[in-house]
Amino acid sequence: MTDTSLAKSPAPAPRAAPPLLAMLWRDKLAFASAVILLLIVVAALLGPALLGEMANDQNLRGRNFAPFSFARGWQFFLGGDSLGRPMLARLIVAAHSTILIAAGTVAAAALVGAAAGLVAGYMGKTTSQVIMRLADVIMSFPSLLLAVVVLYVLGPSIPNMILVLAITRIPIYLRTTRAEVLEVRERMFVQAAVVMGASHRRIIFRHILPVVAPTLLTIATLDFAFVMLAESSLSFLGIGVQPPDITWGLMVAQGRPYLTTAWWLAFWPGLLIVITALALNLLSGWMRIALDPNQRWRLEARSTAPSGAKPASPTHG
Amino acid sequence: MAEALLTVKNLSVDFHTARGTVHAVKDVSWSVGRGETLAILGESGSGKSVSANAVMNLLDTPPARIVSGEILYDGKDLLRVSYEEHRALNGKKIAMIFQDPLGHLNPVYTVGWQIVEMMTAHGRPAAMARARALELIARVGIADPEAAMRKYPHQFSGGQRQRLMIAMALMLKPDILIADEPTTALDVTIQAEVLALLKELQAETGMGLVLITHDLGVVAEIADRVVVMNQGEIVETGSVRDVYHHPQHAYTKKLIGAAPGKGEIKLLEAAPLLLETKALKKSYGGFTALKGASLTLLRGQSLAVVGESGSGKSTLARTLLRLEDADGGEALWKGRDLLRMGARELLGVRREIQMVFQDPTQSLNPRMSVYQLIAEGWDIHRLMPDRAQRRARVAELLDQVGLAPEHAERYPHQFSGGQRQRIAIARALALEPELIICDEAVSALDVSIQAQVIALLDSLRRRLGIAFLFIAHDLGVVRDFADTVIVMQAGEIVERGPTAQIFDAPQHPYTQRLLAANLDPDPDVQASRRASIAAPHA
């Protein structure tokens, strides 16, 4: 029989998938991003407990103290704010609420949006229509106005902010997921699963979701920065995070009047938002490749990554 | 041999890819003379299109790089002329038609506009171009050329579109026509018509024709000389008759040997009834895809359903698999009606009936490893909970379809097309089905691999007693594999019977037409057939 001839014909040399950490190390930019994000998470978890008091300690002689000097101790290295509180300590403490709100919002919106999108894409026309029209209602209502109304009624608090922001972001995930599901469910391998007798649950979670997930991941990382800024505008209006609680977005908003005289009030928190968003983006790009068996070889083959990219100084976190 | 019109000399082209340099063609030389037809024969990845694309300056550089060689036309080396000079030749002196005419016609312009543009783009007056277009559209056999000029590409059938592409290519009376798989996407009867048309036009105009194909039958039908390519190299060249009857190179011998339709015809053995359909109906809106199909299938039988596109053969499979709901009729699976089963009962039947799809690249989830793909059926039907036992069985199945057990950890993209189809077959076998429905399961594969997969399916049928419902348009493959044949046309079964009877004494005119249009790889058989049967023109 001719069977054996094919068995010998070579598929590309066997490569066991290397552990994730090794693949992360191959992509130096993604590795640096992971380190930065880890530092930010650590700061968010431990910051309030360790530096909470210092961050709210007013010192009028240190008002708008210029950065890059150790004259008032390490905590004033990045300068002092308009009430003489140390910027560095405040930045670390602010990571807590910032990350909590942004991560909570993105996770909630992505979860609800993706679930609704999967249902809308997979189920029949009527269900889909109802879900899509609901999304249209949310989208047609100015998101900030909605947030103002709801927060005014419910009262400003972090859970309420997460709720409001998440609702306004749901349609993005929903529409993307639905569009992708509509395409993926017509693919042959989904039909093959139907023929084998796979349940709806299995088809959705085993065959459709893994194909849709990378797109959602990319949107989620882009959304992270957006949510941080949206939260700052709510805080700016006084219905968001309430002082003495602080977030990076609020710090940017509060520092805006001083931009000409004390640039560092708005610059450092702004820089942190940018770094966080960038790191998330790089990491999600890596993850998309690492999780796709078709693309994974890029991370396996590249033994020496371009070393031009220096990780941003972790002291910012 | 006539004086060479176009000569390719020692052409080598490399492609730079992320995985290193690929030598797409190595030291390739061929030439075509006036009034001559040269076929470039090869399987996918053999580099058969590359040299023709180099002639037309269609290679993207990079990633392609022409390492060496020259292409001589009219005393000029086409690889060294300026872009403008090349453009003046393209279309005017050397024209090209492609496999997929729909992809090469712009959907937002009328066909007439596009054909006329071919001439006006080369600076001819519009009125003259229009007159020539009308003349050619009529010549390629399209009724009412005036009306056809005003229509859009989607309003024509595949065969008509290919005729229009040919008309377009001939607008400027080119010296050379390059046809890249011009009939691969067409049904057999249409293919025969288009090839006949190409031949007539060549006789009229005396142009040189370069035909790129993977199909030995097409070569036998139309070509004077043939160049056989394998892995970027020309392994054999000569007259079609010489190459077919006295192949020198091992690859050519293998290719000719693999051509389907030469084996022994199988006989149906008596066995218990497995599946019986009665007056199965299905329509989509106003279009009736299936007008009451009745058939019986015995245990271990291989039943082929033959027909051209739109004949309803895929709809038949889809309704049997409950991927579509039938509008009427019955399908009795071991006495129980498949079409009216509840979800629970259906799940049990889903285990007994498996399917192998046409394109394994699409029917295997790219994010699952081979092990996961094969084991999925056990997950679904809650069989074999023991992991070690599963591993052993996957290894066994892979071995059964001619793959190695260590392939289990790889992903589909790491395999070739034929190997992927083997994975799909292993997946179907995992549930120990009693019936496997193959929807054009081998038509996307190269001939040599096609022969291997057919041999594999046949051995499985004999060893495991699995019945096959084998949907195909390639009669050669059907002749090799099936013991019973059903011929479908426009949603109806027009003829049925044992394979030998259908092939030797077809009763229905449509069956006769199908068989006549089917191209034999032997040029002599093909020539005598041409002489005896006047191919009917639609």
Task: For B115-149, write each residue's pLDDT tens digit.
Answer: 888 888 888 888 888 888 888 888 888 888 888 88
Residues of B in Cβ contact (< 8 Å) with A290:
none
Residue A164 lies in a domain: yes
Whether B420 has its CB under 8 Å from any CB of chain A: the answer is no
CB contact under 8 A, B323 and A192: no
B264-284 pLDDT, tens digit per residue, is 677 777 778 888 888 888 888
Mutation target to probe the A interface, by most A beta carbons within 10 A, among B414, B438, B456, B460 is B414
pLDDT at A309 over 50: no
Average pLDDT rounded to a whole number, residues B73-92: 82
Closest among A49, A34, A31 to A95, alpha carbons compared: A49
Q: Which amino acid is at B169?
A: A
Asked which of B154, B171, B188 is the last residue of a domain, the reply is B171
CATH at residue A137: 1.10.3720.10
Residue B110 backbone dihedrals phi, psi, to 5 degrees: -70, 155
pLDDT at B470 over 80: yes
CATH at residue B404: 3.40.50.300
- Where b means 16+ CB within 10 Å and e means fewer, B183-194 reads bebbbbbbbbbb
What pLDDT does residue B114 have?
A: 87
Whether residues B362 and B486 fall in one domain: yes
Helix (H, G, I), strand (E, B) or coil at B66: strand
Minimal C-alpha gap between A10 and chain B (Å): 8
Least confident of A65-74, A247-256, B117-126, B467-476: A65-74
pLDDT at A170 over 70: yes
Measured CA to CA, the distance from residue B54 to residue B47 in angstroms comes to: 11
pLDDT at A6 over 70: no
A261 Cβ partners below 8 Å, 6+ apart?
A64
Measured CA to CA, the distance from residue A62 to residue A90 in angstroms comes to: 14
Using pLDDT thresholds of 50, 70 and 90, give the confidence band for residue A300: low
B357-382 pLDDT, tens digit per residue, is 888 888 899 889 999 999 999 999 88
Q: What range defines the domain where residue B345 resides? A: 279-520
CB contact under 8 A, A14 and B409: yes
Residues of B in Cβ contact (< 8 Å) with A198:
376, 380
Q: Which residue has the tokens 């034999």?
A: B520
Using pLDDT thresholds of 50, 70 and 90, give the confidence band for residue A305: very low
Minimal C-alpha gap between A20 and chain B (Å): 16
A141 Cβ partners below 8 Å, 6+ apart?
none
A52-88 pLDDT, tens digit per residue, is 777 777 777 767 777 777 777 777 777 777 777 888 8
Mutation target to probe the B interface, by most B beta carbons within 10 A, among A8, A188, A287, A289 is A188
Helix (H, G, I), strand (E, B) or coil at A190: helix
Residues of A in Cβ contact (< 8 Å) with B413:
293-294
For B28, other C-beta atoms within 10 Å of its C-beta total 24
Question: For a pLDDT cut of 90, what percent of chain B falls above it?
Answer: 7
A90-129 pLDDT, tens digit per residue, is 888 888 888 899 999 999 999 999 999 999 988 878 888 8
- Among A142-146, B177-181, B259-263, which range has the highest average pLDDT? B177-181
Residue B311 lies in a domain: yes
DSSP per residue, A6-47:
HHHSPPSPP-PPPPHHHHHHHSHHHHHHHHHHHHHHHHHHHH
**Which of B323, B367, B455 shows the shortest C-beta gap to A293?**
B367
CB contact under 8 A, B380 and A197: yes
B440-451 pLDDT, tens digit per residue, is 888 777 787 788
B28-58 pLDDT, tens digit per residue, is 888 888 888 999 988 877 888 888 888 888 8
Residues of B in Cβ contact (< 8 Å) with A186:
none
Residue B6 lies in a domain: no
**Which of B362, B379, B402 shows the shortest C-beta gap to A6?**
B402
Residues of A in Cβ contact (< 8 Å) with B351:
197
Residue B370 contacts residue A11 (beta carbons within 8 Å): no
Q: Which of residues 372-391 of B touch A (CB under 8 A)?
A: 376-377, 379-381
Whether B367 has its CB under 8 Å from any CB of chain A: the answer is yes
Measured CA to CA, the distance from residue A47 to residue B526 in angstroms comes to: 85
Question: For a pLDDT cut of 70, what percent of chain B falls above it?
Answer: 96
A245 Cβ partners below 8 Å, 6+ apart?
A97, A158
Whether B507 has its CB under 8 Å from any CB of chain A: the answer is no
Give the ipTM of the model, two decimals please. Answer: 0.70
Whether B315 has its CB under 8 Å from any CB of chain A: the answer is no
Residue B329 contacts residue B277 (beta carbons within 8 Å): yes
**Quick one: closest CA in B to A6, which residue?**
B402
Average pLDDT rounded to a whole number, residues B501-530: 83
**Which of A2, A11, A193 shows the shortest C-beta gap to B451?**
A2
CB contact under 8 A, A197 and B367: no
CA distances from B202 to B143, B170, B219, B508, B529 (A): 21, 10, 15, 33, 20
Measured CA to CA, the distance from residue B382 to residue B72 in angstroms comes to: 66
What total number of domains does chain A contain? 1
Report residue B153 as tokens: 């590409």
Helix (H, G, I), strand (E, B) or coil at B415: coil
Asked which of B171, B193, B227 is the last residue of a domain, the reply is B171
- Where b means 16+ CB within 10 Å and e means fewer, A52-72 reads eebbbeeeeebeebebeeeeb
**Which of B353, B354, B452 shows the shortest C-beta gap to A6?**
B452
Helix H or strand E segment including B209: strand B208-213
Average pLDDT rounded to a whole number, residues B285-293: 83
What crossing angle do the helices spanning B447-464 and B250-258 adopt, rounded to 10°?
50
pLDDT at B473 over 70: yes
Residue B356 lies in a domain: yes
Of B84 and B262, the structure prediction assigns the larger pLDDT to B84
Mutation target to probe the A interface, by most A beta carbons within 10 A, among B367, B458, B462 is B367
Residue A65 lies in a domain: no
Whether residues B163 and B287 fall in one domain: no
Burial class for B264, CB neighbours closer than 10 Å (0-12, 13-18, 19+): exposed
What pLDDT does residue B373 have?
A: 92
Residue B214 lies in a domain: no
What total number of domains does chain B contain? 2
What pLDDT does residue A38 have?
A: 92
Residue B44 lies in a domain: no
**Which of B350, B357, B367 shows the shortest C-beta gap to A211?**
B367
Report residue A303 as tokens: 């033994």
Q: Which residue has the tokens 């949603």?
A: B491
Average pLDDT rounded to a whole number, residues A188-201: 88
Residues of B in Cβ contact (< 8 Å) with A209:
none
Residue B259 lies in a domain: no
Q: How far is CA A315 from the centre of its chain?
A: 21
Average pLDDT rounded to a whole number, residues A141-162: 83
**Which of B380, B403, B431 shows the shortest C-beta gap to A202?**
B380
Measured CA to CA, the distance from residue B499 to residue B267 in angstroms comes to: 8
pLDDT at A230 over 70: yes
CB contact under 8 A, A210 and B367: yes
H-helix segments, B206-265: 216-222, 240-245, 250-258
Burial class for A223, CB neighbours closer than 10 Å (0-12, 13-18, 19+): buried
What pLDDT does residue A173 have?
A: 93
Chain A interface, Cβ < 8 Å to B = 1-7, 9, 11-12, 14, 16, 187-189, 191-199, 202, 206-207, 210-211, 292-294, 297-298, 301
pLDDT at B339 over 70: yes
Minimal C-alpha gap between B411 and chain A (Å): 7
Minimal C-alpha gap between A224 and chain B (Å): 27
Q: Which of residues 15-54 of B touch A (CB under 8 A)?
A: 18-19
Minimal C-alpha gap between B287 and chain A (Å): 21
Of A56 and B493, the structure prediction assigns the larger pLDDT to B493
Residue A110 lies in a domain: yes
Residue B505 contacts residue B532 (beta carbons within 8 Å): no
Burial class for A11, CB neighbours closer than 10 Å (0-12, 13-18, 19+): middle
Minimal C-alpha gap between B138 and chain A (Å): 40
Whether residues B303 and B442 fall in one domain: yes
CB contact under 8 A, A188 and B362: yes
CB contact under 8 A, A196 and B451: no
Whether residues B165 and B284 fall in one domain: no
pLDDT at A19 over 80: no
Using pLDDT thresholds of 50, 70 and 90, give the confidence band for residue B392: very high
CB contact under 8 A, B363 and A11: no
What pLDDT does residue A110 have?
A: 94
Residue B196 contacts residue B536 (beta carbons within 8 Å): no
Residues of B in Cβ contact (< 8 Å) with A294:
366, 411, 413
Q: How far is CA A190 from the centre of its chain?
A: 30
CB contact under 8 A, A292 and B367: yes
CB contact under 8 A, A14 and B415: no
B303 Cβ partners below 8 Å, 6+ apart?
B295, B297, B467, B468, B469, B470, B482, B483, B484, B485, B486
- Residues linked to residue B230 through DSSP beta bridges, in sequence order: B233
Average pLDDT rounded to a whole number, residues A262-283: 87
CB contact under 8 A, A189 and B403: no
How many CA atoms, within 13 angstroms, populate the side-chain half-sphere of residue B329? 22
Residue B4 lies in a domain: no
CB contacts < 8 Å between A and B, how many? Answer: 100
Q: What is the mean pLDDT of chain B?
A: 84
CB contact under 8 A, A210 and B351: no
Report residue B240 as tokens: 């079609």
B399-423 pLDDT, tens digit per residue, is 888 888 888 888 888 887 778 888 9
Residue A211 contacts residue A150 (beta carbons within 8 Å): no
Whether B231 has its CB under 8 Å from any CB of chain A: the answer is no
Residue A3 lies in a domain: no
Residue B490 lies in a domain: yes
Minimal C-alpha gap between B423 and chain A (Å): 12
Q: What range defines the domain where residue A234 resides? A: 17-58+82-316
Whether residues B507 and B362 fall in one domain: yes
Whether B409 has its CB under 8 Å from any CB of chain A: the answer is yes
